[in-house]
Structure 1
Amino acid sequence: MVVLKSCYTIKPAKPTPTSGIVISDCDQDKPITHAPIIYIYRPCSNFSYNSALESIKIALSKALVHFYPLAGRLKWVGDKGGQVELECSSVGVWLYEAKSNTKLADYGDFCPTPELRSLIPSVDYNAPLQEIPLLLVQITRFTCGGLSLGVGISHIMADGTCFFHFMSVWARIARGEPLDVDVLPYLDRTALLAREPPTSQYNHERFDPPPLLMGLVDKNEERNKRTTVAMLHLSKTQVEKLKNMANDSRAANIRPYSRYEVVTGHLWRCMCKAREHKSEQITRLYLTVNIRNRMKPPLPRAYFGNAILRVTATSQSGELMAQPFRYGPSKIREAIEMVTDDYVKSTINLVKGLPDLTPFRTYHIVESTQGAFYGNPNLEVTSWVGLPLKGVDFGWGKEIHVGPGSVNLDGKAFIMDGHNEDGSLVVALRLQVGHMDALREIFYKDIDDWRSSKM
């Protein structure tokens, strides 16, 4: 049980600009919700909780001087569901102090269950948009002496890359270390505003309604089914086996498939099997692509804002299951390589022209009946592989775990580096209860079966 003790409003430590920050057209179609991330710590023996709490409050106030847009509020431009804009009002972020009667050991491998979600502030999305903080933090003490730092950050304000950038700067300030110029955020988002039309036409499949399960005409039949969450762990050896499976008999002119491509392809294939799709079932995989280095010129390294695009790979389930293993990874690579500077411009021009962005902003909200249903027969995979999410030390030691605080959607998954960064990977996902046991079995059995066939 988690009990909230106090709530503090943290404002920038110094006066900050009150205008000049735009919400780009690459931000506008992102969910109106907050991304929940959890950090777990087991402090050293001389740890003082009261000193730590005061330290992170002061450091957060100082960090907001540089990341001052997070201390503002969003508001609608015209009708609700259309464009939003940012008011740099410096009204602040919320920091909760909480206590739990549980121990860290009670959370196992920190699977994103409702119990773990209680360690992160929740948000009432029925409240007026201009009243909702863009950043919420919760520090929770456990009976064993450990603590957690749960963070919710507005999807419209930040993607994963700049969120972890913010966390590293906040921790650096808490440790009393100076900030070099190259770690400060680049706040100008105008590079991703819609401008001249692109030179080519593209099929933006991600804006189309997702495929439905064959035989269904009502998306709510699948939406209303019970779901559960799991953490699937892959050792370095298992990841290498998947890479070998994808690269076996690969053409010489095709570069080797990456860890992300092969694990995502494997998950897609296994989900089709676990869900018992018919061969002709259409299934769509939703992916996010970092566009920072795909723009001409590239975006500044410290760009603070959404610099990701959601793209899709589509296949018949039978093709994924019958073709050689590399078929899935090849479809994923094809979707990712489609994202060029011109493609990005085409996408943000399209977003600029949409009168109602509600379907893309609300599908992450639990029990939402708005927008499309992206679950069975589809999936969405977000990669945190290679992101600088680890090593966030506020002065009491590095975290023992960092990961998503919740996974809200049937078929939604995160792929992350293993804790020891030894080449292992972890997949956190949500799936319908009726399919999870089958997925667990298939996920590992297919790797073992391939290994046996090569002996």
Structure 2
Amino acid sequence: MEQKLNITFKNSYLVKPSAPTFQGHMPLSLFDQTGYLIHIPTVHFYKPPPPQFTQDGSLINKLKSSLAMALVHFYPLAGRIVLLEGGRMELNCNSAGAQLLEAVCRETLDQIGDLSPSPLFHNLVPSLNYNDMKNLPLLVIQVTKFKDENIALGIAISHIIADGQSAFHFIIEWARLVSGNSIFTKPFLDRRVLRGDSRVPRSGGERIDVNSHAANPHLPLPIVIGETSAKIQQEKKTSIDLLILSTKEIEFLKSLASDGIVPAMKRPYSTFEVISAHLWRCACRARLLIHEQPTVLSFPINFRKLIQPPLPVGYFGNAILDIRSMDFSGNLLTGTLANTAAKIRKTILAVTSEFLYSEIEFLQMQTDLSKFQERHDYMEYLGNPNLTISSWLTFPFNGLDFGWGKSLGMVEASHNGDGDFVLHGDLHGGVVVSMCFQEEYIKSFKYYFYEIFGDMNKKD
């Protein structure tokens, strides 16, 4: 099937808050202004709504009216970004509105396939013009009706305004309003709590050098030994695929890690730690990296409860930090799963409240934040010999109900390139790993990924 769907756009709406909200400029935290500055798109699939949702355009009207209500509480999503000097930004809360598109697709949902990752999903979220930032909506939604009456909700939220947890906070509350319920958890919108000057001072008062720290988020990424730049690897063709792990297989990985557990690691390894350790080792093996090859694993950590005092419940914004762990391919391949899991655990434990305040101070001292930003026109290459893993394990992949039944599934509408992995749960307690990998190595990667489970019955 071609990598494009036959979609016709029927209507475009600019949805504004249904009641007056704060008007004026709102400061953004340094975590909002660094990292990804693009929109993060997800697509949610639903069975055909019942007649009361579809007669006389009632579905789109219901989505519009409830969205307007949601924007009263989440009014930053109706604002616009203001660009300042030195790569800095602030939010103009001007109620300019969120964009809602209504579309129809000539294909059926079955023709797309089994909702596995596909370039086709780009067609189910609105395209964006990042060259006009001052007028760019921070929330864009596309409601697509397929030929068989199934529905796709493509939702893209600016990462400047919300990280994954905050984005899903909004989507969940919007779904509640569509269903006729009220807001359950109101968003906490005051981002000054992460400005550094209004928080409790760090114990000891000593600043940590973030660039020599175990979780250094600014650690330079190595390139393949023998190459002069990442360009050769970056230009290689990639494919996207899914890896499925059952609860039994996850427990098997945890048992392997526990068998050789490092004495300092008293707490059992988490699902994220053991799967990430397995992915890192498989990537080194499949890519045929020599033992002397440095390799970096990058992953975001949610610090809402790590920073002291903890952020308020419902904090709406970015409260994640991408951290990096480095090792040599030889250490990962000749060591055990437990050794790699311990390496990841130590990196996570290094993210303390003191470290987070030091990162805030480090960014405050920068005259230009641009070098810490991932934009539509520049993305740091995170692939071979490196990889990045994001955990969406706490997000509701199959539980969102907009009033006519739970979703058939949710997918990410984009991957960031080679070595990009996203973990999310399934209906049976297992884990689905959505991956993007260089085509020449993906077959070997999948073989090594599942090979380890051949010994599962022997262990039992």
| Normalised TM-score (structure 1) | 0.93
- Matched AA of 1:166: F
Aligned counterparts, 1:94-133, within 5 A: 94-125=99-130, 127-133=131-137
Q: Report the 3-state secondary structure (helix = DSSP H, G, I; strand = E; otherwise coil) of the residue aligned with 1:38.
A: strand
Aligned residues: 443
User: Residue 410 of structure 1: CA displacement?
Assistant: 1.0
**Distance across 2 between alignment mates of 1:390 and 1:68:** 27
- Matched AA of 2:158: S
**2:67 pairs with 60, 64, 68, which one?**
60
Partner of 1:268: 280
Work out whether 1:194 is the aligned partner of 2:190.
no
Partner of 2:380: 372
**Distance across 1 between alignment mates of 2:50 and 2:180:** 20
**Distance across 2 between alignment mates of 1:355 and 1:114:** 38
* Sequence identity percentage: 35
**Distance across 2 between alignment mates of 1:378 and 1:12:** 43
- Matched AA of 1:150: G
Q: Report the CA distance shift for 1:46/1:222 in structure 2 as closer, same or farther (over 3 A).
A: same
Work out whether 1:225 is the aligned partner of 2:236.
yes
**Distance across 2 between alignment mates of 1:423 and 1:117:** 28
Q: Report the 3-state secondary structure (helix = DSSP H, G, I; strand = E; otherwise coil) of the residue aligned with 2:244.
A: strand
Does the CA contact (< 8 Å) of 1:26 and 1:193 recur in 2?
no
Partner of 1:427: 433
User: Residue 59 of structure 1: CA displacement?
Assistant: 0.3
Partner of 1:394: 402
Work out whether 1:285 is the aligned partner of 2:292.
no
**2:415 pairs with 407, 411, 415, which one?**
407
Does the CA contact (< 8 Å) of 2:208 and 2:354 recur in 1?
no
Does the CA contact (< 8 Å) of 2:32 and 2:317 recur in 1?
yes
**Distance across 1 between alignment mates of 2:364 and 2:11:** 41
Partner of 1:320: 332
Partner of 1:179: 183
**Distance across 2 between alignment mates of 1:230 and 1:390:** 19
Q: Report the CA distance shift for 1:360/1:404 in structure 2 as closer, same or farther (over 3 A).
A: farther
Aligned counterparts, 1:34-183, within 5 A: 34-43=39-48, 45-46=50-51, 48-49=53-54, 50-79=57-86, 82-125=87-130, 127-180=131-184, 183=185
**Distance across 2 between alignment mates of 1:307 and 1:192:** 9
User: Residue 452 of structure 1: CA displacement?
Assistant: 5.5
User: Residue 453 of structure 1: CA displacement?
Assistant: 5.3
**1:4 pairs with 2, 9, 14, which one?**
9
- Matched AA of 1:255: R
Does the CA contact (< 8 Å) of 1:414 and 1:428 recur in 2?
yes
Partner of 2:3: none
Structure 1: give runs of 5+ residues left out of the alignment: none
User: Residue 209 of structure 1: CA displacement?
Assistant: 2.4
- Matched AA of 1:445: E
Output one character per residue of 1:364-392: Cα deviation in whole Å (capped at 9) or x when no partner.
x4xx4x35321111111110112345422
**Distance across 1 between alignment mates of 2:352 and 2:397:** 26
User: Residue 71 of structure 1: CA displacement?
Assistant: 0.5
Does the CA contact (< 8 Å) of 1:209 and 1:372 recur in 2?
no
- Matched AA of 1:117: H
Does the CA contact (< 8 Å) of 2:50 and 2:404 recur in 1?
no
**Distance across 1 between alignment mates of 2:245 and 2:52:** 34
**Distance across 2 between alignment mates of 1:297 and 1:208:** 27
Partner of 1:256: 268
Does the CA contact (< 8 Å) of 2:25 and 2:92 recur in 1?
no
Name whichever of 283-292 and 390-399 sits farther off. Answer: 390-399
Does the CA contact (< 8 Å) of 1:210 and 1:372 recur in 2?
no
Output one character per residue of 1:280-310: Cα deviation in whole Å (capped at 9) or x when no partner.
1100000111111111111111000001111
Tell me the C-alpha RMSD between the 2 structures. 1.8
- Matched AA of 1:403: V
Q: Report the 3-state secondary structure (helix = DSSP H, G, I; strand = E; otherwise coil) of the residue aligned with 1:138.
A: strand
